[in-house]
Amino acid sequence: MHKLQAAITAVHGYAPDYILTNHELEALVDTNDEWITTRTGIKERRILKGEGTATSDLAVPAVNGLLEKRGISAEEIDLIIFCTTTPDMPFPATANILADKIGAKNAWGYDLQAACSGFVFGLATGAAFIESGKHQKVLVVGGDKMSSIIDYQDRATCIIFGDGCGCALLEPNTEGYGVIDSVLKSDGSGREFLNMKAGGSLRPATHQTIDAREHYAFQEGKTVFKFAVTNMANVAAEIMERNNLVANDVAWLVPHQANKRIIDATANRMGINEEKVVINIERYGNTTNGTIPLCLWEWESKFKKGDNIVLAAFGGGFTWGSLYLKWAY
Ligand code: UT7
């Protein structure tokens, strides 16, 4: 018998129906399909339309699909970790709102804010609750309604982001499957390059902050790119070295989907062929906390029991991290 580990036992996802194409963006800002495709790899992204819809509405169908697949009821969930940068409200936590909407009456929960690294941080945190023996069923959700904080007059950001959500269920495993290791990092001095300037305690909402368009995501793309390309690759290489993995041992790299060029650089550094790299950025863009769980959901049928999978992410903060797991089913 192996030590107690946290295994992913089900994944699911949800992407809203509306497709925002590069061609549609050409009508909104000074950009073009060729520039977006070659610089980012993105062709289209999904947008959650409708008054009164929020990030939790992306999570409800994702989680209900997961529960049905696993054959369990929402009442069996012990803990919900909701990784998001676009909570329904500053408080209460979207984890609480989700629990109410799906009927997870016995769960406690909280939101985890680590921008695009959120889902990796969330899986590592959720795994610790399983490894400690404290909980049996931990639901880790990663989702964002990025369209709620995107300025569709800013070509530096509006071409990148989209809406979407995915989730994973963690359960105890003593057969050697599940989360083996993680490397998690942050550096708050990077906050000036990727942020939302107003709406927090530093700059509460005023007419002035609204006029200055400070309630939208801001990114200094070139600087973030430089940090992302180095750090995401470093942390993916570090987790391989720490666990004595060579490229042939890795079945899949599941990277955060921010830019196809960053993904390619990470895969090159790991020595991994393109066929082993999970990429859906062309269809969803950057869904922030949603990218990695959406990838897991879409590739679920290709994963085999025992596959070594490496997750890697980089995001605002700066935050970055990698996680190594053995697929359990
Ligand atoms: O997920 C969280 C972490 N985020 C990331 O990892 C994102 C990292 N950054 C990036 O992916 C890239 O920096 C971007 C995709 C955001 C931008 O690509 P870039 O190759 O760094 O472009 P750039 O900002 O250096 O701009 C190059 C040129 C500029 O024109 P000049 O000065 O060379 O004449 C820009 O004005 O492209 C211009 N440009 C655009 N042109 C058409 C910038 N945005 C656009 C646009 N359409 N949307």
Ligand 1 contact, 152 CB (< 6 A): no
Q: How far from chain centre, in Å, is Cα 281?
A: 12
Q: 42: domain range?
A: 5-176
For the cut 90, the answer to whether the pLDDT of residue 289 exceeds it is yes
* Ligand 1 mean position, distance from CA 225 (Å): 9
Q: Are residues 151 and 77 in the same domain?
A: yes
pLDDT value of position 129: 98
Q: Which residue is closest in CA terms to ligand 1's atom 22? A: 222
Q: In the listed set 176, 200, 223, which residue is the last one of a domain according to the structure? A: 176
Ligand 1 contact, 22 CB (< 6 A): no
Q: How far from chain centre, in Å, is Cα 165?
A: 8
pLDDT value of position 19: 98
Q: Are residues 125 and 192 in the same domain?
A: no
Q: Are residues 78 and 147 in the same domain?
A: yes
Q: How many CB atoms lie within 10 A of CB 207?
A: 7
User: Tokens standing for 5?
Assistant: 């580990």
For the cut 90, the answer to whether the pLDDT of residue 229 exceeds it is yes
Q: Are residues 27 and 95 in the same domain?
A: yes
Q: Are residues 296 and 189 in the same domain?
A: yes
Q: Are residues 100 and 194 in the same domain?
A: no
pLDDT value of position 221: 96
pLDDT value of position 314: 98
pLDDT digits (tens, 9 = 90+) for 164-174: 999 999 999 99
pLDDT digits (tens, 9 = 90+) for 51-105: 999 999 999 999 999 999 999 999 999 999 999 999 999 999 999 999 999 999 9
Q: In the listed set 154, 176, 198, which residue is the last one of a domain according to the structure? A: 176
- Edge-first strand listing for the sheet containing 319-326: 178-186, 319-326, 308-315, 252-255
pLDDT value of position 1: 79
- pLDDT-above-70 percentage for the chain: 100
Ligand 1 contact, 190 CB (< 6 A): no
Q: In a 3-state reduction of DSSP, which class is residue 42?
A: coil
- DSSP letters along 250-307, please? --EEEE--S-HHHHHHHHHHHT--GGGB---HHHH-B-GGGHHHHHHHHHGGG--TT-
Q: Are residues 107 and 190 in the same domain?
A: no
* Ligand 1 mean position, distance from CA 36 (Å): 9
Q: Are residues 149 and 188 in the same domain?
A: no
Ligand 1 contact, 39 CB (< 6 A): yes
> Taking residues 126-141, what's their average pLDDT?
98
* Ligand 1 mean position, distance from CA 221 (Å): 6
Number of domains in the chain: 2
CATH number at residue 193: 3.40.47.10
Q: Which residue is closest in CA terms to ligand 1's atom 26? A: 222
Q: Which of 149, 194, 222, 284 has most ligand 1 atoms within 8 Å of its beta carbon, as the pocket-test mutant?
A: 222
Q: In the listed set 149, 176, 203, which residue is the last one of a domain according to the structure? A: 176
- The pLDDT mean for the chain works out to 98
Residue 22 is a catalytic residue: no
**Set 256, 259, 289, 295: catalytic member:** 256
Taking CA atoms, 58 is separated from 195, 287, 289, 314, in Å, by 23, 11, 12, 22
Residue 286 is a catalytic residue: yes
Q: Are residues 40 and 164 in the same domain?
A: yes
Counts of helices then strands in the chain (DSSP H, E) = 11, 13
User: Tokens standing for 50?
Assistant: 């409708």
pLDDT digits (tens, 9 = 90+) for 179-189: 999 999 999 99
Q: Are residues 290 and 159 in the same domain?
A: no
Q: Are residues 106 and 240 in the same domain?
A: no
Taking the CA atoms of the chain, what radius of gyration do you get in angstroms?
19
> Helices in the chain by DSSP H: which ranges?
22-26, 33-40, 55-70, 94-102, 118-131, 155-158, 207-211, 221-242, 260-270, 281-284, 291-299
Q: Are residues 22 and 136 in the same domain?
A: yes
Ligand 1 contact, 266 CB (< 6 A): no
